[in-house]
């Protein structure tokens, strides 16, 4: 029975991954560690709370003692590192915590895993692997054409993407220097259930339902490449099982959309489904984000050729599933935007 140490498993993608894995595999043990920042929410994991193969431990990925204890007491096979500060706007306001978690936290996980997995110089217990969940944002911004491949030079622009790129390079350094078993994944923008409503899609859904204005940065024509979160989870699972030593895998489903397109799609759906007074009049253009990347676009050829990964959910289907999920789970959004972390939510786009 393989044992997974998943970090940041109470966040958006991490919780989807925990649910995906426990549904897919009967015979795995999964330990989820999360420090429960404003973005971590155990409500996401209610369904697996009592699952016999699942354990939650509240801890920080920078806590060497706690992480060591977990390795001491469990024969961990895989570390899957989702834990991160993940919001670009916050990184512009306060870069330090991004370096703390996304760089120092990553380094701490690498060090502890290396210590417990080492059996000789540059030799590790068989079957062990560290997976760094990264982002297409490390590649910077594209012009009107072309795609990010795994060999596109890293050129991050925001403190968030710079901290993720630094974490990635540390993982690469461990593979190059110590032959440490790793993979790095770089995925495009995710959407789906359990995303904190500071991010575009859940924010727009929630504001529409509350008849609040819909802030749009700049001209609204920035392009992101969207992937349904479950397709990301599927890709990570494949990389864990079959990824080649030290390789990077880009993950994306060729679903490029401008921000304004996304917003109009959500308005149209909610207008028809919920309330005819939800209209484009709610759109409010605001001053552009500092250093705002214009376009992201992933070339997923490598993961699809090497591992056979293809996305299952087309954008048109995924966005409707997502909107419906937020409609059916309004309490979830209300709980996290009215509690202890209320200011985190309402301060955005102030």
Ligand X SMILES: NC(=O)c1ccc[n+]([C@@H]2O[C@H](COP(=O)([O-])OP(=O)(O)OC[C@H]3O[C@@H](n4cnc5c(N)ncnc54)[C@H](O)[C@@H]3O)[C@@H](O)[C@H]2O)c1
- Assess contact for 3 and 29: CB atoms under 8 A: yes
- CB within 8 Å of 175: residues ≥ 6 apart: 181, 182, 245, 246
CA–CA distance, 315 with 119 (Å, rounded to integer) = 46
Residue 112 near ligand X by CB under 6 A: no
Comparing CA positions, the residue from 245, 111, 112, 108 lying closest to residue 182 is 245
Taking the least distance from each CB to ligand X, the nearer of 99 and 274 is 99
- CB within 8 Å of 97: residues ≥ 6 apart: 85
Annotated active-site residue in 137, 225, 230, 231: 137
Fill in the per-residue mask, 25 to 44: x = in contact with ligand X (CB under 6 A), - = not in contact: ---------xxxx-xx----
| Rounded least distance, CB 292 to ligand X, Å | 16
| Rounded least distance, CB 27 to ligand X, Å | 26
Residue 254 near ligand X by CB under 6 A: no
Indicate which single residue of 18, 67, 70, 133 sits in contact with ligand X (rule: CB under 6 A).
Answer: 133
160 catalytic? Reply is: yes
| Rounded least distance, CB 14 to ligand X, Å | 5
Indicate which single residue of 91, 190, 250, 259 sits in contact with ligand X (rule: CB under 6 A).
Answer: 190
Residue 164 near ligand X by CB under 6 A: yes
Residue 303 near ligand X by CB under 6 A: no
| Rounded least distance, CB 100 to ligand X, Å | 7
Indicate which single residue of 84, 208, 236, 263 sits in contact with ligand X (rule: CB under 6 A).
Answer: 84
249 catalytic? Reply is: no
Taking the least distance from each CB to ligand X, the nearer of 37 and 124 is 37
For residue 85, give the 3-state DSSP assignment.
coil
Residue 183 near ligand X by CB under 6 A: no
- Assess contact for 101 and 61: CB atoms under 8 A: yes
- CB within 8 Å of 234: residues ≥ 6 apart: 20, 309, 312
CA dist 44 → 11, 193, 344 (Å): 8, 9, 19
CA–CA distance, 239 with 229 (Å, rounded to integer) = 15
Taking the least distance from each CB to ligand X, the nearer of 14 and 181 is 14
Annotated active-site residue in 34, 77, 136, 293: 136
CA–CA distance, 185 with 82 (Å, rounded to integer) = 11
CA–CA distance, 239 with 302 (Å, rounded to integer) = 11
Number of residues lying near ligand X (CB under 6 A): 30
CA–CA distance, 321 with 317 (Å, rounded to integer) = 6
136 catalytic? Reply is: yes
Indicate which single residue of 6, 29, 31, 60 sits in contact with ligand X (rule: CB under 6 A).
Answer: 60
Residue 187 near ligand X by CB under 6 A: yes
CA–CA distance, 170 with 165 (Å, rounded to integer) = 9
Q: Site residues (CB under 6 A) for ligand X?
A: 7-8, 10-14, 34-37, 39-40, 60-62, 82-86, 101, 105, 133, 135, 164, 187, 189-190, 196
Write out the catalytic residue numbers: 136-137, 160
């Amino acid at each position: 029975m393989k044992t997974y140490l998943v970090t940041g498993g109470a966040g958006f993608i991490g919780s989807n991954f925990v649910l995906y894995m426990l549904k897919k595999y009967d015979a795995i043990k999964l330990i989820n560690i999360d420090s429960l920042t404003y973005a971590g929410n155990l409500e996401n994991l209610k369904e697996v709370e009592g699952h016999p193969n699942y354990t939650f431990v509240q801890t920080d990925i920078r806590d060497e003692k706690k992480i060591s204890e977990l390795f001491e007491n469990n024969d961990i096979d895989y570390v899957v590192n989702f834990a991160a500060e993940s919001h670009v706007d916050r990184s512009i306001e306060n870069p330090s915590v991004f370096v703390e978690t996304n760089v120092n936290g990553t380094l701490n996980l690498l060090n502890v895993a290396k210590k417990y997995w080492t059996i000789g110089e540059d030799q590790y217990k068989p079957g062990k692997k560290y997976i760094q969940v990264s982002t297409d944002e490390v590649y910077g911004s594209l012009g009107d054409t072309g795609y990010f491949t795994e060999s596109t030079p890293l050129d991050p622009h925001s403190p968030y993407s710079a901290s993720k790129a630094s974490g990635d390079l540390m993982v690469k350094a461990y593979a190059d220097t110590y032959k440490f078993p790793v993979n790095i994944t770089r995925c495009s923008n995710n959407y789906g259930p359990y995303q904190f409503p500071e991010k575009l899609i859940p924010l727009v859904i929630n504001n529409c339902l509350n008849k609040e204005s819909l802030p749009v940065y700049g001209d609204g024509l920035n392009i992101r490449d969207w992937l349904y979160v479950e397709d990301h989870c599927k890709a990570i699972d494949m990389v864990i099982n079959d990824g080649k030593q030290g390789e990077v895998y880009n993950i994306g489903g060729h679903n490029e959309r401008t921000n304004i397109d996304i917003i109009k799609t959500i308005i149209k759906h909610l207008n028809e489904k919920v309330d005819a007074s939800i209209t484009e009049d709610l759109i409010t253009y605001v001053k552009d984000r500092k250093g705002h990347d214009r376009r992201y676009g992933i070339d997923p050829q490598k993961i699809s050729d090497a591992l056979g990964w293809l996305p299952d959910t087309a954008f048109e289907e995924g966005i409707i599933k997502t909107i419906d999920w937020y409609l059916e789970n309004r309490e979830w959004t209300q709980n996290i935007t009215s509690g202890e972390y209320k200011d985190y939510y309402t301060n955005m786009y102030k």
